[in-house]
Amino acid sequence: MAFLPEWRNLGYLASSVLIVLTLACGGGGGRDRTPSGSLEVFNDGTQAMNQLFVTPSGNPTWGVDQLAPSILLTGDALTLAPLDPDSYDVLAVFADGSSDEVQGVAVQDGLTTQLGMMNSGNGGVAVFNNAGLAITGVYLTLSSATTWGPNQTDVALDAGQTLTLTGITPATYDLRVIFSDGSHEDNRGFTVTSGTLVSIQEN
């Protein structure tokens, strides 16, 4: 993850100054206008950005995907406006399964905050439920570990649904899924590499 300089070049400076002047003078609003700023998010990664979430800092949920139904290609930017002046947390999920999270991004009245997001070099694991039963537990652990660790899903994964785990450090892993009838299936010794999304079919 990387914060960008306040302005990337003179073109951004000029456009942002125009925004400030418009907010300050436009429409005769004067002192009655509602304070607002904007957040410009750049995809500085090597993969397409598939999802983007922006929420006030301290909010327990991420809310809606700001990109849906589109994606943000490498080098492109998305401007979110108007935003209340506040501190925000930002989460980007990339096509390779990796994610980038930045907390405490300040949005100020009359200004555009610029933020660069990039895929971290991690990978991801996508679990497809092709079985006739719901999956109630998903456990992912290093192959060298002696315990399965915590359940990676809070809700049951119905037949036909997919769970994608992102930000996985490249290594060799084991995966266990628990079905609603109490049975389980293990997938052992698969490798997660940088920039890849491993797909596991549960039948």
Which of 139, 125, 142 has the alpha carbon at shortest distance from 197?
125
H helix and E strand count, the chain: 1, 13
Q: Are 121 and 109 in contact (CB under 8 A)?
A: no
Angle (nearest 5°) at CA 108 between 103 and 112 = 90
pLDDT score recorded for residue 31: 65
Assigned fold of 2-117: Immunoglobulin-like (2.60.40)
Distance CA 187, CA 202 (A): 9
pLDDT score recorded for residue 166: 79
Q: Are 124 and 51 in contact (CB under 8 A)?
A: no
Structure tokens at 42: 């750049």
- CA dihedral defined by 104, 48, 154, 182, rounded to 10 degrees? -160
Which of 181, 77, 188, 73 has the alpha carbon at shortest distance from 131?
181
Residues 114-143: b if buried by 16+ CB within 10 A, e if exposed:
bbbbbbbebbbbebbbebebbbbbbbbbee
pLDDT score recorded for residue 30: 53
CATH of span 123-202 = 2.60.40.2890
Which of 175, 136, 177 has the alpha carbon at shortest distance from 157?
136
| Per-residue pLDDT of the chain in tens (203 residues, 90 and over written 9) | 443 333 332 223 222 323 332 333 444 455 678 999 999 999 998 889 999 999 999 998 999 999 999 999 999 999 999 999 999 999 999 988 888 888 899 999 999 999 999 887 788 898 999 998 999 999 999 999 999 999 999 889 998 898 888 778 889 999 999 999 999 999 999 999 877 789 999 98
**CATH 2.60.40.2890 occupies which residues in the chain?**
2-117, 123-202
Which of 164, 97, 167 has the alpha carbon at shortest distance from 129?
164
Q: Are 176 and 137 in contact (CB under 8 A)?
A: yes
Residues 11-49: b if buried by 16+ CB within 10 A, e if exposed:
ebeeebeebeeebeeeeeeeeeeeebbbbbbbbbbebbb
How far is C-alpha 71 from the geometric centre of its chain's CA atoms?
Answer: 12
